[in-house]
Structure 1
Amino acid sequence: MTAAVSAPPAPRPSTARRVLPLVLAAALVLTAIAYPLSSGPARDAVSWTIVVLGSLLSVVHAGAARGLRTAIGLLVLVTVTAVAFEAVGLATGFPYGSYRYSGALGPTLLGVPFLVPLAWLMMAWPSWVLAERLARPVAGPTRRRVVRIATAAGVFAGWDVVLDPQMVQAGYWTWSDPSPGLPGIATVPLTNLAGWLLAGLVLMALLDLTVARTQAGRAPRTGDAAPLIALAWMTLGGALAHAGWLGLPGSAAWGAALALPVLLAVVRRHRGGRW
């Protein structure tokens, strides 16, 4: 007589794995709320804190959801890609257009302030996570991967549409020739958007490959609420701040226009899913 042996249930994610990304997301949101309410050196400190919290959230969530190797791969890949694109951009004007950073952003590597790769890290992982969710219904792994990379690059570039005018207003960088720009945004040229789309496609293709080769297990080990909260607040919350406090109605309108269709797609396709 033999006894039936059932497979053990999949382990539930630990409390720390589930809670820590959410704590970082909440801290990020609260700090971002303080940005339009501050000024001078205090606003600079808030900017640094936002970027540090956002980049830390990305790495922590990648590790919690996909494993330590993915978190390390994300950190190394985004840092190297960001410094490479930004250093070339500063030296040649390609692919963003001609621009320069101010001294307010602190120490640099190859002319690129340390804060900049952290900002890329803050933006890149939530963009990929959202795209991964939106691409799930697409049939076929190759088509799904193409849609995932293109969507992530679009979200990545769209985030910058809101961020860049705010950073120019703060004096962190300036453009030699900001025209032509998007309607309502007079301080940032269209070449910047084209450059972010190109950089996003390269980065997201490499990130997609990195996740596929490094993730532990076949499915995320915790939900995606934390990076998606960060993404939603930094776009829609940023648009609100631009309209109500920062005097940037053009970027506010673009932020809302770019974010709302994505939010509607998330609600429609993933209602009732684990977040």
Structure 2
Amino acid sequence: PPRGDAIAAIPWVLAGLLVLMQIAYPLTSNQVRTTLTIATVVVFVAASCSHALIVRGARWTALYLVITVVGGWLVEVLGSRTDVPFGPYDYTDSLGLKLLGVPVVIPFAWAMMAYPSLIVGRALTRSRIAQVLIGAWALASWDVFLDP
């Protein structure tokens, strides 16, 4: 295939890999499951970033990644140290390396879901305000699903 087609296929190949990883998830346990969880976040971020690179360009993608990873990490540090805005919680050591008490993978999980949440908002409406509200709702719903 022409180079452009191969590049455009990257997010879709990664999405297919994600489906396979999610199928494998309930079939694993203990350290294998933890490793698969971290790998899923990495592959999902790669899928989101590769799609954003193709659709939005390098500058936008870099900015999105900085905002979501740094912003997600800051909110998680705040939350785990002050119980605001999520209530009391902390992280075990199971998700690997921590930075100020937050596993490094967690901010990337926020980046992983922020982009699809934005895409959903943009697909459903042209109103910027409604896009933000829908995207925020989608992102918050994902978080509540993970940590009820």
What TM-score, normalized to structure 2? 0.94
* CA drift at 1:75: 1.0
**1 CA distance for matches of 2:145 and 2:81?**
25
Q: Give 1:62's aligned residue.
A: 52
User: Is the counterpart of residue 163 in structure 1 residue 146 in structure 2?
Assistant: yes
Q: Give 1:150's aligned residue.
A: 133
Q: Give 1:88's aligned residue.
A: 78
**2 CA distance for matches of 1:128 and 1:34?**
27
User: Is the counterpart of residue 130 in structure 1 residue 120 in structure 2?
Assistant: yes
Matches within 5 A, 1:141-220: 144-164=127-147, 188=148
User: Is the counterpart of residue 104 in structure 1 residue 94 in structure 2?
Assistant: yes
Which is greater in Rg?
Answer: 1
The structure with the greater share of residues assigned to helix is 2
Q: Tell me the alpha carbon deviations over residues 110-145 of structure 1, each in whole angstroms, 9 at most, x when there is no partner.
A: 211101011101110000011111013xxxxxxx11
The sequence identity of aligned pairs, in percent, is: 40
**2 CA distance for matches of 1:161 and 1:35?**
20
Structure 2 unaligned spans of 5+: none
Q: Give 2:17's aligned residue.
A: 27
Letter in 1 for 2:119: V
Q: Tell me the alpha carbon deviations over residues 161-183 of structure 1, each in whole angstroms, 9 at most, x when there is no partner.
A: 3222xxxxxxxxxxxxxxxxxxx
Aligned length: 146
Q: Tell me the alpha carbon deviations over residues 83-136 of structure 1, each in whole angstroms, 9 at most, x when there is no partner.
A: 110011011100000001001111111211101011101110000011111013
Structure 1 runs (4+) greater than 4 angstroms displaced? none
What TM-score, normalized to structure 1? 0.52
**1 CA distance for matches of 2:116 and 2:144?**
16
**2 CA distance for matches of 1:128 and 1:153?**
8
**2 CA distance for matches of 1:60 and 1:72?**
11
User: Is the counterpart of residue 71 in structure 1 residue 61 in structure 2?
Assistant: yes
Structure 1 unaligned spans of 5+: 1-12, 137-143, 165-187, 189-275
RMSD of aligned C-alpha atoms? 1.3
Letter in 2 for 1:154: W
Q: Tell me the alpha carbon deviations over residues 32-88 of structure 1, each in whole angstroms, 9 at most, x when there is no partner.
A: 111111111111111111111111111111101111111111111111101110011
